[in-house]
Amino acid sequence: MNCWICGDNADSGEHIIKQSDLKQYIGNVSQSFPFRWYSNNNKKDVGSFKSSHLHFKTKICSKCNNERTQPSDRAWERLSNHIRSNLSDIVATRKLDLTSLAGTKEINQFVVDVQIYFTKLLGCMIHDASVPINTSSFSSSIMSSKPHDSLYLMFALTDEIGGGCKSVYVSDLRGYGFKDKVDYLVWQYSVGELVVFVIYDPRKLERRIIRNSLHPRNHNGKIRFLMKNNKQRQGGTTSSPLL
Ligand SMILES: [Zn+2]
């Protein structure tokens, strides 16, 4: 298997949910104290965050995984930790100013880095599910550290699901298109209350979603959060599995 990003030999597994998110949210796990992971209608008790169950089937190369995408991994780690640590303030204002998170970087490059993190995940997901989308635009964005024109991030906060039980969840890919083409794709990445919808919309079909989402070419240095209330949708198909 070759790395879909750069073409080199693919020998490195990418986490479906970032390991730092799992560690910070779930805490320590071990073989004698595993957590339960639900995926594709299966459940597994997982005793290590390095478990193959927590990785995409599609591998990438070590350079892409460790070196090339390190700034984007760091950017997401910082943003995600910050959101979890400042949850009540963010719930109150439904906004987050990214200025202090960008550090020494231009704020726009910080937004690009966050987008690249999810570009990498969505690319792996597309290959895992054999969705007929050419991921060369995803590769070029990652290789050049430049924005991807058609990938948007919508942030939401939700009540913790399951009466206080910890919940980590990724959805299947959902989308639509005509014949063998996919025109729209959405994938959900959730850790506790924080939900990120990763949206691929090359034809700009969902204007309202685009307006409210984060994109490197159209942002004001702030994230706007949707609020989702799961109490109103108990039993619905969007409720997340429990850990
Ligand atoms: Zn590579």
Percent of the chain with pLDDT over 90: 73
226 neighbors 212 (Cβ within 8 angstroms): yes
162 Cα–ligand 1 center, Å: 39
Cα(78)–Cα(152) distance, integer angstroms: 19
pTM value is 0.91
- Give residue-wise pLDDT tens across range 27-52: 999 999 988 887 777 888 999 999 99
**Which among 62, 39, 65, 63 has a CA at the least distance from the CA of 52?**
39
102 Cα–ligand 1 center, Å: 26
Mean pLDDT of 109-132: 97
Per-residue pLDDT, 164: 61
Cα(70)–Cα(134) distance, integer angstroms: 24
120 Cα–ligand 1 center, Å: 11
96 Cα–ligand 1 center, Å: 33
Which is it for the CA torsion 32, 38, 39, 40, positive or negative? positive
93 Cα–ligand 1 center, Å: 40
Pairing of strands 151-158, 194-200: antiparallel
166 neighbors 28 (Cβ within 8 angstroms): no
63 Cα–ligand 1 center, Å: 6
Could you identify the residue written with the tokens 């350079």?
63
**Which among 216, 218, 222 has a CA at the least distance from the CA of 207?**
218
